[in-house]
């Protein structure tokens, strides 16, 4: 609900352009891969993400309605899963990459012989490095003037199993990975068609995935060290 009055008051205040950020969680559960913007309305989102995805999708409807009725220049971008330095590493609320980094680093430091990962590792995901995401948003703000939704992604797909193994290797955790199949897998696959972003405002992600992971892990290590030094860890 926060987005609804924000867009409305921006229009009332005469804001020249409004950039609304949606989410790939708005896509139907079994969207054909790669996800194309044209398929956004062809089904109900994956159940565990549906309330969030539908709420975000209403901003797209509002954006299009305000452009049609008022000539309001609002655009709607759908970033894929983001990661990078400064991410949320709280185990109660973090997303998959920071959660796995923390699990692996913690296990390595205490000599734990295993970690537990959710699901069975079969789903796939696409991730976008935070600096690439910022560049994409900036380019769209400068160059894109249409209310048709636009994917922001890297076009790189990886399974959760391979992701977990990669993070374990990069963090130096050599223990076992145990899969808790009682936990949900989420959407089976997630990979975007990013051609509209390239054609519409010249955006292409440039960060290689492993390099982005290394930078995120390095940042997390520095943050932990600073937090310990400050005596609050």
Please give the biggest Cα pair distance in the chain.
Answer: 62
Report cis status (omega within 30 of 0) of the bond before 87. no
Residue 232 pLDDT level (bands cut at 50, 70, 90): low
**Active-site residue list:** 52
pLDDT at 230: 66
Q: What pTM was computed for the model?
A: 0.91
pLDDT single digits (tens) 88-146:
999 899 999 999 999 999 999 999 999 999 999 999 999 999 999 999 999 999 999 99
The phi and psi torsions of 64 (rounded to 5 degrees) equal -70, -40
Domains of the chain with CATH codes: 3-218 (3.40.50.720)
Of residues 188 and 202, more confidence is placed in: 202
Alpha helices for the chain (secondary structure H): 3-12, 50-70, 96-110, 130-143, 160-171, 195-201, 209-229
- Please give the Cα distance from 159 to 168 (Å, whole number): 14
**Average of per-residue pLDDT across 41-62:** 95
Mean pLDDT over each residue of the chain, to the nearest integer:
95
Reduced 3-state DSSP string for 24-44? HHHCECCCCCCECHHHCCCCC
């Amino acid at each position: 609900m926060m987005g609804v009055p924000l867009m409305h008051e921006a229009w009332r205040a005469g804001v020249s352009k409004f950039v609304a950020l949606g989410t790939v969680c708005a896509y139907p559960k079994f969207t054909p891969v790669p996800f194309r913007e044209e398929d956004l309305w062809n089904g109900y989102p994956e159940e565990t993400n549906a309330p969030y995805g539908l709420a975000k999708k209403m901003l797209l409807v509002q954006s299009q309605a305000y452009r049609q009725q008022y000539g309001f220049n609002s655009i709607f971008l759908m970033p894929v899963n983001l990661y990078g330095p400064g991410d949320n590493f709280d185990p109660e609320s973090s997303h998959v990459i920071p959660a796995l980094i923390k699990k692996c680093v913690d296990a390595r430091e205490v000599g734990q012989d295993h970690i537990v990962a959710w699901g069975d590792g079969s789903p796939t995901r696409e991730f976008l490095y935070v600096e690439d995401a910022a560049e994409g948003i900036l380019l769209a703000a400068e160059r894109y003037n249409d209310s048709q939704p636009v994917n922001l992604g890297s076009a790189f797909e990886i399974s959760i199993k391979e992701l977990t193994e990669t993070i374990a290797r990069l963090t130096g955790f050599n223990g076992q990975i145990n899969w808790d199949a009682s936990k949900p897998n989420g959407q089976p696959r997630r990979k975007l068609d990013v051609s509209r972003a390239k054609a519409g405002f010249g955006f292409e992600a440039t960060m290689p995935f492993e390099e982005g992971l290394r930078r995120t892990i390095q940042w997390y290590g520095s943050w932990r060290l600073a937090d310990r030094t400050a005596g609050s860890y």
